[in-house]
Chain A
Amino acid sequence: MAELIKSGKACTVNPLKMSQPIGGALAYMGMRGAMPLLHGSQGCTSFGLVLFVRHFREAIPLQTTAMSEVATVLGGYENVEQAIINIANKTKPEIIGICSTGVTETKGDDVPGFIQLFRQKHPEYDHIALVYASTPDFKGAFQDGWTKAVTALVEGLVEPRGEGVAIDPARVNILPGCHITPGDIDELRDIFEAFGLVPTFLPDLSGSLDGHIPEDFTPTTLGGTGVDEARAMGRAAWTVAIGKQMRGAAEALERKAGVPFRLFDRLTGLAANDAFISFLSDISGRPVPNKYRRQRGQLVDAMLDGHFHIGGRRVAIGAEPDLLYTVGSFLHEMGAVISAAVTTTSSPMNILLPAEEVLIGDLEDLEARAEDADLLITHSHGRQAAARLHVPFFRMGLPMFDMLGAGHQVSVGYRGTRDLIFAIGNLLMHAHQSHLPTPDTWREYPSALPVPPAQETVQ
């Protein structure tokens, strides 16, 4: 259990946090034939676009209502209308996902009202789904924007199961949090399918941002979940939500279509995956395939090999709540000490982290708390702090603009956990080798480490 502290600073220095609208936009990108649309000034969109291009190294569909100063004051219906028409004609999307921004929220634009009016005036665009999430920049963080957009997708698309339509016991809905990478989704799909289950991911970034060469030349998203597939999610027997941030969306789905859900706080770690795999075995009525029995063995072995390097090490982590909880509690299980934890927004997970305190703050705060750390984990913006502190740096989260394959980083499942141990363990091993004692330094070696607190079992 951690104590939650909020940074009292007036000036945020080296932000860890990113804004809600682009979190929402990313969620929309997991839909097939989607064009996310930010209702705001063109800069709101252009910054997000550059950020995602640098992270995924993919073409990114993202549009703007291009609000000018005058339009902002007068209200943005015309801009929203024009944007939808232009996008519809130019890119022929299946769905346009709209997010508000700080500018239009400050004005108080009634976007749901706009959409209603648009539907009345333009029945010719009825074939295009319009989904809206209110995501002011001055509230919450990236993760909250994602949550709101996914909930909006559920509310706006999923249809209640019709009379006489049977539940399909093989169908499972999966609601992944924004910390679940395209690579993670691919891994999860394999796992579900190995149990004979048919997964529908909402959203599904693996089809759209996993770096494949497109089959079609389209300005909207490639792959992703289709609007028709989302509508049919009410037929599934189960919903699996990954990360506490998806609770709201899972509840909405249950309310709307009566699909029960199971929420997994994380899918990284041995115990966490044992629970997950057992659940799949239960709902599918199938025994655990040999493949996963072997992978479990490999993970156990990796934990044995890795604990020499990770155990007792002090780790400073800056990440959004669900990612922080996932990585922090897993490394804690491996014997690491979470010596500093900084996050972006409030979440029930924050106080559950096995650390003394969790701070809602920025990378300046993390840097100040990471001076005695053996490892720094955060997104690429941690590079300056890591260089100044001379601490090994492991990149996790978004953005990761200074490495290849950010979208393919896998940390879910037995195999993903195993590989995460290897990656972090190697980093620590190499750092350790370059700091071996000399005849002059052996007295100070190893540096005086506090005794790790007694391990709590974290679910």
Chain B
Amino acid sequence: MTNLNQTIQDVFNEPGCGKNQNKSEKERKKGCTKQLQPGGAAGGCAFDGAKIALQPITDVAHLVHGPIACEGNSWDNRGAASSGAQTYRTGFTTDMVEHDIVFGGEKHLYKAVKEIITKYDPPAVFVYQTCVPAMIGDDIDAVCKAASEKFGTPCIPINSPGFVGPKNLGNKLAGEALLKHVIGTVEPEYTTPYDINIIGEYNLSGELWQVKPLLDELGIRILSCISGDARYKEVAWSHRAKAAMMVCSKAMINVARKMEERYGIPFFEGSFYGIGDMSDSLREIARLLIERGADPELMDRTEAVIAREEARAWDRIEPYKQRLSGKKVLLITGGVKSWSVVAALQEAGMEIAGTSVKKSTKEDKEKVKKLMGDDAHMFDDLTPREMYRKLKTAEADIMLSGGRSQFIALKAGMPWLDINQERHYAYAGYHGMVELVHEIDRTLSNPMWEQVRARAPWEEEGGESWETRAMAEPETEAAPSVAELSPDEQEAARRATGVCVCKGVNTGTLEDAVHAGCSTLGDVAAATGASTGCGGCAPFVQRIVNRVSRSDGVNVQEAA
């Protein structure tokens, strides 16, 4: 474990990671992300992160050393696509049982490696450490070393048990394993001045293939993609590339930086999301290659391809642009997508109602700021209720997020699109941008929304629905629990509950206005300003008018 702790510290000290460099020594020791809160945490563990980062290597057998949960509950659940081998989609696990816990699981692991090599003959076996064997002291490094020697197949220990930290740390620990055991162990058959590495791209839904044909056309060879649609030997000979592009923000910064340090491979951070970003990335690849000795005419050809592809993409987006212009998007994602997708959506004429930067680095946040003018629409964490509220008050027309928060939008009858790893459509490159816009349009223009939002014929108008409560509650949530308040304080808290966000009008003000004689929505709006901003709260103001009028004994129908 000391070895692992050292690697973790090493990862935290990563000079290429601005976020950690800005921290004090003490803060850095605490680790990469906020301390996890029991009962309030979400997201995957370090093992999950390591598996995400490496599983896209398609011809490798990925063997999870642990009890059934680690592999059995999660295998084959990601959309990384392969152009050939399917071994990576096979679930391998030692499925540790009580006997292993008592007597140690090393022999069991060794036998499992042997079975895999005998039956499947992969070019390498990646062995993932998990919490339970780490606790009982199974030394997977030693087992891998012995197995590699005995069977002549590289067995690579991936030391990233779940409890050492979050997913992001696992990404980096996976990178460390590649640096230590894989990269530089095989020589390519030949090299060209046009060889690049793409680091941190997982080929989800085949996104790499929306980019590769353009690189092929330019004569640029992806010597190695770490790790989307990769073969083991490609990763092993990646040290011979002339330049590298780092795609997924900080997930594998350590790999990119250490390869620069060890093998002199310069890298840049870029994105394939969005037309502008895609073009910038192509230019940067060409520039780095030329710097490393490629023929400068490469830049001319690159510019020609960019001009052609941009024009084509704009042409294809144009018909959508009119329909999507002014539509507001709420982005609940994180990391690199908090800005790379922003640029893409703005290109399609849409506005960003907000973007979450919970998982983003300082640099990510700077980029968001640059793209959106200010940081007013950045938020760290959004409770489900707030997300719902933003959608319902028309601060946003559609939410783009990962699968886990989809139901907040869908149950509220609001459009939603999946942009995380379980997504079924590929959104990279010029073509992917058109695809994303097409998907947003396909979702937003669906006539179904109108019917699912309509109330059932037998439902009463104006009743206190769950929507009203959801709208009314966020302000009280942070306040002390209602039980601890005196009746007067409770009443004050209820009255202080905001209704109109734009004009800052609370429940009490609205009720007073009705008591004072305002009997219609129009009267109340004129008196308080409520619902005169975005107008999204009008139905809720109307309900308060109805409710208070009823209790005041005024006949609403007559008054209206």
Contacts and interface: CB of A to CB of B under 8 A. Distances in A.
Contacts of A80: 38
B116 A11 contact: yes
Given A14-B91, A214-B466, A41 B101 contact: no
Interface string B512-527: 0000000000000000
B39 A87 contact: yes
A11 B111 contact: yes
Given A72-B131, A83-B39, A217-B466, A41 B68 contact: no
Q: How many of chain B's residues touch chain A, expressed as a range?
A: 35 or more
Contacts of A79: 38
26 contacts: A10-B115, A11-B112, A11-B113, A13-B92, A13-B116, A14-B90, A41-B131, A42-B36, A43-B162, A46-B44, A47-B73, A64-B39, A68-B36, A69-B161, A82-B37, A82-B39, A83-B40, A106-B131, A106-B132, A106-B135, A107-B135, A136-B67, A137-B66, A137-B68, A141-B68, A217-B385
Interface stretch (A49-57, A190-198, A257-265, A414-422): A49-57
Interface stretch (B235-243, B404-412, B428-436): B404-412
Given A46-B44, A68-B36, A89-B481, 13 more contacts: A18-B68, A19-B67, A47-B74, A49-B42, A66-B41, A68-B163, A69-B163, A102-B96, A106-B135, A107-B135, A137-B67, A137-B69, A216-B466
- With most chain B CB atoms within 10 A of its CB, the pick from A17, A18, A102 is A102
Contacts of B68: 12, 15, 17-19, 137-138, 141
A159 interface: no
Interface residues of A, number: 69
A59 B94 CA distance: 31
A208 to B, nearest CB: 13
Contacts of A214: 411, 466
Nearest to B49: A43
A298 B45 CA distance: 51
Contact of A46 (B45, B108, B114, B388): B45
A65 B38 contact: yes
Nearest to B481: A89
A291 interface: no
Interface string B109-131: 00111111001000000000001
A9 B115 contact: yes
Contacts of A47: 44, 48, 69-70, 73-74
Nearest to B422: A54
A63 B163 contact: no
A58 B535 CA distance: 30
B93 interface: yes
- With most chain B CB atoms within 10 A of its CB, the pick from A68, A80, A215 is A68
Interface in B66-97: 66-77, 86, 89-97
Contact of B77 (A42, A66, A401): A401
Nearest to B36: A66
A339 interface: no
B90 A86 contact: no
Contacts of A84: 39
A282 to B, nearest CB: 38
B382 interface: no
Contacts of B38: 64-66, 78-80, 82-83, 86
Contacts of A78: 38
A48 B73 contact: yes
B403 interface: yes
A67 interface: yes
A24 to B, nearest CB: 12
B18 interface: no
A311 interface: no
B111 A42 contact: no
A216 B469 contact: yes
- With most chain A CB atoms within 10 A of its CB, the pick from B41, B90, B94, B165 is B41
A253 interface: no
A46 B466 contact: no
Contact of B75 (A15, A49, A137, A141): A15
Interface in B459-473: 466-467, 469-470, 473
B63 interface: yes
A54 B403 CA distance: 8
Given A65-B38, A103-B163, A11 B131 contact: no
A139 interface: yes
Given A18-B72, A85-B39, A10 B112 contact: yes
A100 to B, nearest CB: 12
- With most chain B CB atoms within 10 A of its CB, the pick from A12, A58, A90 is A12
Contacts of B69: 18-19, 21-22, 44, 47, 101-102, 137
A105 B66 CA distance: 14
Contacts of A59: 407-408, 411
A22 B70 CA distance: 12
Interface in A201-238: 213-217, 219
